[in-house]
Amino acid sequence: MATILLVDDSTFARNFVKRILGDQYTYAEASNGNDGLKAYSIHHPDLVILDVTMPDISGLEVLEQLRKQDAHAQVVVCSADIQDYNRNRAMELGALAFLNKPVKPDALLDAIRSILSESGA
């Protein structure tokens, strides 16, 4: 069973994603960027779902550090921030998808299934 790390300062957003994805995955969670980086080291997830706007370090900073830590980290960025800069920067940093919040369940499911099937997870 694939493990997904949810990094979002909103408990509601993390629970919403888990409801969409159901019980076909194992979950690890972090409520801020620093804890997300620690959780990645501990759990070695198959995929990270990452928010951009968080109180300690931004999701873009987390993404940059994750890619340094693991060049093969698979990350989907989900954000209510619709600025082109953030979308473009996330993709430059190696995000495999950028989804706007509120996340559309089908878009999230399609992105995750595609990414995980390509990686064999």
Dump pLDDT digits (tens) for 85-98.
999 999 999 999 99
Domain ranges within the chain, ordered by starting residue: 3-119
pLDDT score recorded for residue 74: 97
What average pLDDT score do residues 40-46 get?
98
Residue 51: both structure tokens together: 């928010």
pLDDT score recorded for residue 40: 98
Residue 121: pLDDT band by 50, 70, 90 thresholds? low
CA 68, 69, 72, 78 torsion: positive or negative?
negative
What average pLDDT score do residues 11-18 get?
97
Cis, peptide link before residue 55, omega less than 30° from 0:
no
Please tell me the pTM assigned to this model. Answer: 0.96
pLDDT score recorded for residue 63: 98
Domain 3-119, what fold?
Answer: Rossmann fold (3.40.50)
